[in-house]
Amino acid sequence: LVAKFADNRKDDAGSFRLSSHFSIYPQFMFHLRRSDFLQTFGNSPDETSFFRWSLMRENTTSSLIMIQPTLLAYSFSGPPVPVLLDVTSIAADRILLLDTFFHVVVFSGETIASWRKQGYHEQPGHENFRELLHAPKEDAADILRGRFPTPMYIECDQNGSQARFLLSKLNPSVTHTSNQTAGSEMIFTDDVSLQVFMDHLKRLAVQS
């Protein structure tokens, strides 16, 4: 499909170009390939059927969220902002809100989680931190109230066992086999990253 709509020269992957109207299509296919619609390991047949049934009955916006979840970052530097669905979006001093339609996850970075456990948000003079902790939970509650069936709500911390609900949806651009910088988050997986997927797609699209 991309070979038909892309501009390219035969056998030259560097010449591969998609129009602005079609440019995000490959990344949706990348996330669809990794989704619970196609990856059934760990899910019962009933769960897989429910996921696929939901995809067929929901509106376009909800279906797109199912395929490529939304990710918001909360920090002291300003209001929440959308960030890439990528492991590099994880930072010790920010909170992430993931909406997969079926799950809503509030993920605290390592520093945020440590401060919360020490009770800084309950002490005078730390009102900004208290507001930072409250904001993603409030937005998550809005999502839960406005959706049926109600998604599973999960709060988790960086390096915690429940963090898998976030990590499983992120592009594994940094893994245990990468030359990552000290302190950066990584994902232990053999799955290919979006970049590797795109490179392979380009080679297939331009081959004679």
Give the C-alpha separation, 158 to 10, whole Å: 45
- pLDDT tens-digit profile of 96-145? 999 999 999 999 999 999 999 999 898 898 899 999 999 999 999 999 99
Give the C-alpha separation, 163 to 171, whole Å: 14
pTM of this structure: 0.87
From residue 91, how far is each of 38, 66, 147 by CA, in Å? 30, 24, 29
Give the chain's domains with CATH numbers.
69-190 (3.40.20.10)
Q: What is the enclosing helix (H) or strand (E) of 95?
A: strand 95-99
| Strand-strand pairing, 152-157 and 103-108 | parallel
Joined tokens for residue 145: 């109230």
- pLDDT tens-digit profile of 2-51? 777 777 778 777 777 887 778 888 899 999 999 999 999 888 999 999 99
